[in-house]
Amino acid sequence: MRDAGKTYDPELWKSMVDMGWAGILVPESAGGSDMGHAAACVLAEEMGKTLAASPFLSTAVIAATALRQVTDQRASEALARIASGDATYALAVDESAKFDPAKTRMEARAEGNGFRLSGQKKFVADGGNADRLLVLARTGEDLTLFDLPADREGISRDGKEMIDSRDSADIRFNDVAATGDEVLGQVGEAMAVLRPALEAGQAALAAEMTGLAAGALGTTIEYLKERKQFGVPIGAFQALQHRAAHLWCECEVTASAILHAGRMLDNDPENATLAVSLAKARASDTAQRAVQEGVQMHGGIGMTDAFDMGFYMKRARVAAEWLGDYGYHANIVAQSRGF
Amino acid sequence: MEATDLQAFRADLRAWLEENCPQEMRDGRNDEASICWGGKNWNFASEAQRIWLERCVTKGYTVPTWPVEYGGAGLNREQEKIFHEEMRRLNARYPLQSFGIWMLGPALLHFGTHEQKLHYLPPIARGEIRWCQGYSEPGAGSDLASLQTRCEDKGDHWLVNGQKIWTSYADKADWIFALVRTDREAPKHKGISFVLIDMQSEGVSTRPIRLISGVSPFCETFFDNVKVPKDQVVGEVNRGWDVAKYLLTHEREMISAAGGTMGSGRALGAVLAESETGLTDPILRADAMRAEIDGLAIGLTLERYKDQAEAGQGAGDASAMLKYMGTELNKRKLELVMAAGGSDALAWEDGRAPNWLRTKANSIEGGTSEVMLSIIAKRVLGLPG
C-alpha cells in the first residue's frame, strides 16, 4: 500500500464494515453490534499484529464513543452512518507536537446562533480522508467539541507523509461556520463527551500496540529458530534466548493491562482513567521495546526495507505518540497513586 | 456464586474484621519485624498480634482458601478476592505467614494422602508448627536436581544423610520438607523423593549464615543418620521432583506477589513521599513512576493468572515470568526507597537498609532470574537447546 502511494485503502475498510467492525461500539438500535470496548480491543490487537491500516480507531472507536455520550436524534443517525460505513471520522485535537487537550487554543467565536472556528490542528490521524471531523475548540474559557463535515468551506487539509505511511493531516480552519446543532454535547462541556471517547481510543490504541509487539516478537522467535550461524540456530544462544524471553515477559504483563482497561471501560467507565493510562503507558513502552529488540535479534536483515520489522517500528513510534505519550499517561497514573 | 451472596459475604466479613481486627494490626506492615511466623517457639511481638492470630484461626482466615476440615475457611476465588480487598480496606496485617501456608500446604493439598492432610495442615493453619524448606545443597543450586542428600530405605524407616544450604529459618523451624535422593542409579530427576522431617529428630543440626543485611535468615542444615518414619514421604517415592516443581511454582508466585501492587500493598509514590527528599528530585520521581506503572501491570498479571488457574488453565511455566518480573521490580523499588531516604536510610537503626539488602536475594532464591528466562525460552517460546 505504501509503495502504491496510498495512506488508506477504502476497499479494506469496506470489507471491515461488511464484517460489522465499524459498528462494534454502535448500539443495535442504530445498526451496530454493541459488543463493547473489550471486544474492540481484541479487534485492534489483531489489526496491530497484521499492521492493518484503517480508520477503525478514529471512526468505530473514538467517534462512536463520543456520539454515544449524546442521546439526540442527530447523534443516533450519525452512529448509524458509522455502522453502515457511510461516514468516517477523524479527531482533531492536537495543536502542538505533544498531545494535551487542556492546552487547546483554537477559538470558536459565538456568532448569532452558531460559531466561527479559526485556528490550526496538527497530527490529525485519518484526517486526510475522513468524511467528518471532531474538532476541539475554545468557547471563551471552556472547551467545546464540534462535529463538522470535512469539506466545510474554510477547512483546508494538508496531508503529511508520515513515517508509518498512514493517513495524517495538518488542518487549517479559516473562519469556518458551525451551527449550534453541530456542537457535540453541551457548549463548554467538551470533556463530558471527549474524555470517554479519548479513553476508548487510548485503550484500543494500546491494544493495537500490544498486537504490534506480539507480531514483532512472533516474527523474531521464528527467525531465531530458522537462522543458522556457527552451525546452529541462533535461538540456541542463551544471550538471544534471554533477550527474547524478557521481551515475552514484557508483552504478557502489558497484555494484562490491556485486558483490564477494556473491562473497566465496559463495567465501570467512570473510573477507568487509571486503567486506560496504565495500558497506554505500558503499551507504548512495550511496543517500542519489541521493535528495537526485534531489529537487533534479526541482525542486518532487520534493517532492510523489504522486511516487516521496519513497518512495525515506524508504526510503534507513531502510535506511542498518538493520544498521549508515555510521559503524559505516566503522569495520570502517578497522580492517582499519590505522587 | 450469586452476586447477592457475594455481597452478603462481603458485608459479614467487613463487620467481622471491623469488630475483631485490633487497632495495632491495622498499619498494613509486612516487614520482618511485624510478620507473625508462628511455630512452637514463637514469641508474639505484642498481645494484639496474638489475639489477631487467635481470632483469625477460629474463622479459618489464616488460610482462607483451604478446605474447612483442614483449618481453612473454604473460600472460592471470588470470595478470596473480596477477602483480600476487605483486608486492604482496613490496612490489616496478615495474621500469619509461613512456608507451611505458601508452599507445603498447596503441595500437600495436591499430593498428600487424606491422613497426611489431616495430620499436617491444621497445625499450619493454627500457626502451631513452623516449616522450613530443604531444597538447595552446596553442589545443587540452579541445578537443583543434582542434589545428593541420601535417603535409604531401612525397612521400617528411612535413613537420611547429607547437607542442605540456604534453608530459610531452619534454626527457628519445627519441621522441614526436603528433597532427598532415594535412587542413586536412576536419571537425576527420577530418583528424588519429598520427605517431611521433624527438626527435633536426632542427627539434625543447623548453622546460621550471616548475610549482607546483618541478619541470618538462612542456615546450613545437616542430617547425620536421621531416622524418618516411612509414612513421611509425600507423593510417590522417586517422584518427588513432581512435588518439587509444583511447590516451586507456588514459591515463585509467592515471591513475585511481593512486587505487584494493584491495590495490594502501598503505592510507591506514597511511600517515597514520606522521605525527606521525597519526590522532589525529577529523576527519582520519573524512575518511581516507571516502577509504579510496572508494578500495577505485574499485579494485574498475577490476578489474570490466578483467574486462569481457577478456570482450570494452569499458570505452569508462566510462574517463571511472574517470579522474574516481580523480583526484578522489587529490587528496583527498594533501590528507590534507599535513594529517597538519602543519608537517613544509611544508618542501620533506620531500618530501610536490611529490607533493601534482603531484596537482592529475591532474584536468586526459588530459581534465579536467568533460570527463569531459560525456562521461558525453552518451554514457552520453544527455542532450541
Report the amino acid identity of residue A221: I
Strand partners, B134: B178
Which value, in Å, is the radius of gyration of the alpha carbons in chain B?
21
- A107-111 and A114-125 beta bridge pairing: antiparallel
Third-level CATH fold of B3-97:
Butyryl-Coa Dehydrogenase, subunit A; domain 1 (1.10.540)
Residue A123 pLDDT > 60, yes or no?
yes
Using one digit for the tens of pLDDT, what is the confidence trace for A138-174? 999 999 999 999 999 999 999 999 999 999 999 999 9
Q: Do A241 and B377 touch (CB under 8 A)?
A: yes
pLDDT given for residue B248 in this prediction = 83
pLDDT given for residue B312 in this prediction = 66
pLDDT given for residue B77 in this prediction = 87
Q: Do B385 and A235 touch (CB under 8 A)?
A: yes
pLDDT given for residue B254 in this prediction = 66
Kindly list the residues of chain A whose beta carbon comes within 8 Å of any beta carbon in chain B.
Answer: 221, 224-225, 232-233, 235-238, 241-242, 244-246, 248-249, 252-254, 256-257, 259-260, 278, 281-282, 330-331, 333-334, 337-339
pLDDT given for residue B277 in this prediction = 67
Q: Which CATH architecture has domain B131-238?
A: Beta Barrel (2.40)
Q: Which of B251, B292, B328, B365 is catalytic?
A: B251
Using one digit for the tens of pLDDT, what is the confidence trace for B151-177? 999 999 999 999 999 998 999 999 999
Contact (Cβ atoms closer than 8 angstroms) between residue A217 and residue A263: no
Q: Do A337 and B270 touch (CB under 8 A)?
A: yes
Residue A282 pLDDT > 90, yes or no?
yes
Count CA atoms within 13 Å of residue B187 on its CB side.
Answer: 3
Using one digit for the tens of pLDDT, what is the confidence trace for B27-38? 888 777 889 999
Give the confidence band of B261 by pLDDT, cuts at 50, 70, 90.
very low
Domain with CATH 1.10.540.10 in chain A: 2-87
- When scoring A223, A229, A246, A288 by the number of chain B Cβ atoms within 10 A, the one with the most, hence best to mutate, is A246
Q: How far apart are the first and last CA of chain A?
A: 45
Question: Alpha-carbon distance B130 to A206, whole Å?
Answer: 46
What's the grid cell of residue B169?
A: 529459618
What's the grid cell of residue A285?
A: 513502552
Q: Give the CATH class of B258-380.
A: mainly alpha
Mean pLDDT in residue range A95-102 = 96
Residue B262 pLDDT > 60, yes or no?
no
Using one digit for the tens of pLDDT, what is the confidence trace for A297-306? 999 988 998 8
Residues in chain B with CB shorter than 8 Å from the CB of A233 are: 384
Helix (H, G, I), strand (E, B) or coil at B234: strand
B164 phi/psi in degrees, rounded to 5 = -110, 155
pLDDT given for residue B98 in this prediction = 92
Mean pLDDT of chain B: 90
Residue A176 pLDDT > 60, yes or no?
yes
Contact (Cβ atoms closer than 8 angstroms) between residue B108 and residue B101: no
Q: Which residue of A has its CA nearest to B300?
A: A256
Third-level CATH fold of A90-188:
Butyryl-CoA Dehydrogenase, subunit A; domain 2 (2.40.110)
Question: Alpha-carbon distance B343 to A86, whole Å?
Answer: 65
Question: Minimal Cα–Cα distance from B301 to chain A, Å?
Answer: 5
Judge: domain A2-87, CATH 1.10.540.10: yes
> Where do the domains of chain B lie?
3-97, 131-238, 258-380
**Candidate from A42-46, B88-92, B275-279, B304-308 with smallest mean pLDDT:** B275-279
DSSP class per residue in B156-183: SEEEEEEEEEEEETTTT-SEEEEEEES-
Nearest partner of A108 among A65, A145, A72, A78, judged by Cα:
A145
Check residues A335 and B54 and name the one with the higher pLDDT: B54
Helix (H, G, I), strand (E, B) or coil at B383: coil
Give the confidence band of B259 by pLDDT, cuts at 50, 70, 90.
very low
With a pLDDT cut of 70, the percent of chain B lying above it is: 94
Q: Do A330 and B290 touch (CB under 8 A)?
A: yes
Using one digit for the tens of pLDDT, what is the confidence trace for A306-315? 888 999 999 9
Q: Do B384 and A256 touch (CB under 8 A)?
A: no
Kindly list the residues of chain B whose beta carbon comes within 8 Å of any beta carbon in chain A.
Answer: 267-270, 273, 279, 285-286, 288-290, 292-294, 296-298, 300-301, 303-304, 318, 321, 324-325, 370, 372-374, 376-378, 380-385
Domain with CATH 1.20.140.10 in chain A: 191-336
Using one digit for the tens of pLDDT, what is the confidence trace for B344-375? 999 999 988 988 998 999 899 888 999 999 99
Q: Do B376 and A278 touch (CB under 8 A)?
A: no
Residues in chain A with CB shorter than 8 Å from the CB of B286 are: 330
Residue B263 pLDDT > 50, yes or no?
no
Q: Do A339 and B300 touch (CB under 8 A)?
A: no
Give the confidence band of B264 by pLDDT, cuts at 50, 70, 90.
very low
Mean pLDDT in residue range A91-113 = 96
Domain with CATH 2.40.110.10 in chain A: 90-188
Considering the four listed CATH numbers 1.20.140.10, 3.40.630.30, 2.130.10.10, 1.10.443.10, the one that applies to the domain covering A191-336 is 1.20.140.10
Question: Minimal Cα–Cα distance from A327 to chain B, Å?
Answer: 9
Closest CB from B270, B376, B381 relative to A338? B270
With a pLDDT cut of 90, the percent of chain A lying above it is: 94
- When scoring A229, A238, A249 by the number of chain B Cβ atoms within 10 A, the one with the most, hence best to mutate, is A249
Check residues B265 and B263 and name the one with the higher pLDDT: B265
**Residue B70 neighbours by CB distance under 10 Å:** 21
pLDDT given for residue B257 in this prediction = 59
pLDDT given for residue A305 in this prediction = 87
Using one digit for the tens of pLDDT, what is the confidence trace for B83-119? 998 998 999 999 999 999 999 999 999 999 999 999 9
Question: Minimal Cα–Cα distance from A225 to chain B, Å?
Answer: 6
Question: Alpha-carbon distance A180 to A113, whole Å?
Answer: 6
A and B: number of Cβ contacts within 8 A: 111
pLDDT given for residue B281 in this prediction = 86
pLDDT given for residue A70 in this prediction = 96
Mean pLDDT of chain A: 96
B150 phi/psi in degrees, rounded to 5 = -95, 135
Q: Do A238 and B279 touch (CB under 8 A)?
A: no
With a pLDDT cut of 70, the percent of chain A lying above it is: 100
Give the confidence band of A187 by pLDDT, cuts at 50, 70, 90.
very high
Q: Do A338 and B289 touch (CB under 8 A)?
A: no
Using one digit for the tens of pLDDT, what is the confidence trace for B11-26? 999 999 999 999 999 9
Using one digit for the tens of pLDDT, what is the confidence trace for B177-232? 999 999 999 999 999 999 999 999 999 999 999 989 888 889 999 999 999 999 99
Residue B335 falls in the annotated catalytic set: no
Using one digit for the tens of pLDDT, what is the confidence trace for A48-79? 999 999 999 999 999 999 999 999 999 999 99
Count CA atoms within 13 Å of residue B350 on its CB side.
Answer: 16
Q: Do B301 and A232 touch (CB under 8 A)?
A: no
